[in-house]
Structure 1
Amino acid sequence: MTAASTPEQRPDGTEQHWFARIRWGGNALIALYLSVLSGVVVALQYDVANPFHSTVAIELLAPYGAFWRGLHFYTSQAFFLLLLVHLAMVITENNHGYRPGAWARLCATVPLCILLLFTGYVLRGDITGASAGRIAEQIALSLPVGGRWCNDLLFAISDNGLKRVYAQHMVGLVLLGAWCAWEHLRRYRADWRNHLPLTCLLLAITLWIAAPLDAEQLGQVHVAGPWFFLGLQELLRYLPPFWAGILLPGTFVLALLLLPAERRRQRPWLVFAGCWLVLYTIATLIAWQRG
């Protein structure tokens, strides 16, 4: 085997760090497969007209309902985190070789994945989901152009309950994400037998830790959103919804979409993305401290 084809080395002959040799993309795919499988099982028992009672019924009455709901929750979180690490490693290794349009579509899977996670929280129908849904509606409506249309497309919770959210979570966002990632996915395959440690870990977490479900408490004033939403929730204390919920997150996504393929031109974009992540992490920690 030549040096160029050795898994521990890059095509230029330099050695890869052990962290880069982990199959992050394959792990993300396995987590996605488990998320989709368990999501289908949960969806068969879900009633969009009574979201909270339906979620509780899945936990208590459906056969192995708590397991399937927990598996869907934890594998979805794992997919998102592994996707972020995979994207970071692709940028670090500078080995994607995609055309600008294909790269932009691939990076668009990150906000789409966040929307999928977010709509999943909303569909729980608990106090966390209800609060997050109200905030999301206000952010969508803050768009100066097309705000009403955007809200009607994604949420419209005040007018139609969770019907639109359910449709987007089950079909719309999934199809759009598949289209964005197709050029990447068709190049690679993942065999679960090569990712047994991850599979066993996710199953163990599912069996050991129950998926969260937050019932409303009497006199509760502050409701913390999903963990990835905390930073945005904190920014909303100081900034209008459009700035905190659309403009600032949009700058980070735009930096990823426009990231040049040439290493020498990437530095300012990566510095900006890094500073953005640091600031968002600080905002998240402040929100977490509030409880």
Structure 2
Amino acid sequence: MRHEPLRQCPCWWKLLSGLFLPCLIISLSSGLVLLFQYRPQGNVFQSVEHITTLVPYGFFFRRLHFASGQACALLALIHVTHHLAKGASARTSLRVWLRLTGGLGICFLLLLTGFILKGDQESVLAGTILKNLAGAVPLVGAWLAPLAVGEGQSFFLPPYIAHCFILPVALLALLHGHLRSWRPDNNTLAIAALLLGGWTVTVPLGLPAPPGMPVDGASGPWFLLGLQELLRLMPPLWGGIILPGLFFVLVAALPILRGRWAKPAHYAVLICVGLYLLLELKRALA
């Protein structure tokens, strides 16, 4: 099986798949509005506060961008998890599988870079950790570290370029063919608008702490809580690079593993996901 037509999917699956595209369009559109107001150099925290408090409807577009971006990542995660749970990865071509998993990875990279671009103390800590992890990569760490975050007044410039230009283009290029089967109907568009509108109005963005202000219990994005716990339990090279790298390689290789290797690899991925969820829960409850 390559691509099962959307009409053959269960109703709930058709709805979830159809929600991704409108959420993506809303995320890109609201991000484009914020792009013209955001200043990636200098006092970025002040720039974000200016957007939130002084720019007309700035707080609305920030919340809308946040909500739609989170929704895109969650829907992509559900889509790939559904493939894993039903064993569809073994019946999917390697090219299609790499596009799906690569798109999911880019969705989370967009969330991570967006988290850093908040410009508050938590984002500075997250950017510093990301730079240290990138610098710990064997052989290419010295080259990767400056691509994570910059220095001084340009600290937020690399994640800004990645978040606003490189990653969105890469995501659209990867999912271009796949999105054709996810075209939503009017009911799906209405549901997406209601859900994102409700989230935008009711869910606050939190009270940011200016850079340099001590923060008790600072944490990164929700999907990296497990990684934070892993880094607490073992050296950064193992917890932040080797183990995650092996997991991603195993996931990417699922379509080409045949015979006696197929089921063990499939179950190994599911076990790793379960263990990571336990780490996420442990960190969240700490």
TM range (shorter): 0.7 to 0.9
* Match of residue 46 from structure 2: 53
The equivalent position to 1:81 in structure 2, one of 74, 77, 97, is: 74
* Match of residue 27 from structure 2: 35
Gap runs ≥5 in structure 1:
11-15
Provide the rounded CA distance (Å) in 2 between the counterparts of 1:279 and 1:190: 34
* Match of residue 127 from structure 1: 121
Q: Cα deviations across residues 7-57 of structure 1 (Å, max 9, x unaligned)?
A: 5x67xxxxx5x64x4432221111111111111111111111221111111
Q: Is the 8 A contact 1:126 1:213 kept in 2?
A: no
* Match of residue 251 from structure 2: 256
Gap runs ≥5 in structure 2:
none
Cα displacement (A) at 1:150? 1.4
Question: Cα gap change, 1:6/1:82 in structure 2, threshold over 3 Å: closer, same or farther?
Answer: closer
The alignment covers a number of residue pairs equal to 279
Cα displacement (A) at 1:242? 2.1
With normalisation by structure 2, the TM-score equals 0.87
Q: Is the 8 A contact 1:154 1:164 kept in 2?
A: yes
Q: Give yes or no for the alignment of 1:281 onto 2:274.
A: no
Question: Cα gap change, 1:289/1:93 in structure 2, threshold over 3 Å: closer, same or farther?
Answer: closer
* Match of residue 219 from structure 2: 224
The equivalent position to 1:204 in structure 2, one of 178, 198, 208, is: 198
Q: Give yes or no for the alignment of 1:112 onto 2:106.
A: yes
Greater share of helix: 2
Q: Which residue identity is paired with 1:74?
A: A
* Match of residue 13 from structure 1: none
Provide the rounded CA distance (Å) in 2 between the counterparts of 1:191 and 1:54: 38
Question: Cα gap change, 1:5/1:224 in structure 2, threshold over 3 Å: closer, same or farther?
Answer: closer
Q: Which residue identity is paired with 1:75?
A: S
Q: Is the 8 A contact 2:225 2:284 kept in 1?
A: yes
Cα displacement (A) at 1:195? 3.1
Q: Is the 8 A contact 2:89 2:255 kept in 1?
A: no
- Correspondence 1:170-249 to 2 at 5 A: 170-191=164-185, 193-216=187-210, 219-249=214-244
Cα displacement (A) at 1:186? 4.2
Q: Which residue identity is paired with 1:113?
A: C
Q: Give yes or no for the alignment of 1:100 onto 2:94.
A: yes
Percent identity (aligned): 32
Provide the rounded CA distance (Å) in 2 between the counterparts of 1:74 and 1:5: 28
Provide the rounded CA distance (Å) in 1 between the counterparts of 2:174 and 2:6: 31
Question: Cα gap change, 1:159/1:239 in structure 2, threshold over 3 Å: closer, same or farther?
Answer: farther
Cα displacement (A) at 1:116? 0.8
Partner SS, residue 139 of structure 2: coil
Q: Which residue identity is paired with 1:36?
A: L
Q: Is the 8 A contact 1:192 1:199 kept in 2?
A: no
Q: Is the 8 A contact 1:116 1:173 kept in 2?
A: yes
* Match of residue 71 from structure 1: 64
Cα displacement (A) at 1:117? 0.5
Provide the rounded CA distance (Å) in 1 between the counterparts of 2:190 and 2:262: 36
Provide the rounded CA distance (Å) in 1 between the counterparts of 2:226 and 2:171: 24
Q: Cα deviations across residues 178-209 of structure 1 (Å, max 9, x unaligned)?
A: 22222322454334543312320111110112
Cα displacement (A) at 1:125? 0.5
